[in-house]
């Protein structure tokens, strides 16, 4: 019998997560999210930083569009990135985000945090 290693989210993965509980304007419910931190951190801590995906496109400056032909569609809300316990929120792999999308989210988040 082969023992498969448990799934650990990796930077660039789009995962399904349970965002409940949430408060105020935060995204809630079960939805996809883009993982922003590497598996080395995520596996060690049980936490990850992720930005939620929504299907409601509003043209907001911090939205980053996913490809329309991808397994996960919509926009990533880069300014809604937060630290989450991926085990408790039942992270499941959905797809791999294009590198250009990951870079754009990182750029917007960096600008927001005055890192760029």
CATH number at 48 reads 2.30.30.110
Please check whether residue 75 lies inside any domain of the structure: yes
Contact residues for 108 (Cβ-Cβ < 8 A; gap 6+)? 61, 62, 64, 78, 79
Please check whether residue 59 lies inside any domain of the structure: yes
In degrees, rounded to 5, the angle at the alpha carbon of residue 97 between the alpha carbons of residues 59 and 36 is: 85
Q: Are 38 and 11 in contact (CB under 8 A)?
A: yes
CB atoms within 10 A of CB 108: 21
How many independent structural domains does the chain possess? 1
Please check whether residue 92 lies inside any domain of the structure: yes
**What pLDDT is stored for residue 99 in this prediction?**
98
**What pLDDT is stored for residue 2 in this prediction?**
64
- Which residues of the chain register pLDDT less than 50? none
**What pLDDT is stored for residue 1 in this prediction?**
59
Domain extent at residue 79: 13-112
Please check whether residue 1 lies inside any domain of the structure: no
Look up residue 97 and give its two tokens: 């985000």
Q: What are the backbone angles phi and psi of residue 92, rounded to the nearest 5°? A: -130, 130
Question: pTM value?
Answer: 0.92
Please check whether residue 7 lies inside any domain of the structure: no
**What pLDDT is stored for residue 27 in this prediction?**
76
């Amino acid at each position: 019998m082969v023992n498969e290693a448990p799934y650990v989210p990796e930077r660039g993965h789009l995962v399904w997560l349970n965002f409940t509980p949430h408060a105020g304007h935060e995204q809630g419910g079960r939805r996809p999210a883009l993982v922003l931190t590497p598996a080395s951190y995520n596996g060690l801590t049980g936490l990850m930083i992720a930005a939620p995906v929504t299907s409601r496109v509003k043209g907001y400056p911090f939205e980053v569009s996913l490809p329309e032909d991808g397994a996960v569609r919509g926009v990533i809300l880069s300014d809604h990135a937060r630290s989450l316990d991926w085990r408790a929120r039942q992270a499941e792999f959905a797809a791999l985000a294009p590198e250009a999308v990951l870079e754009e989210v990182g750029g917007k988040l960096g600008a927001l945090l005055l890192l760029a």
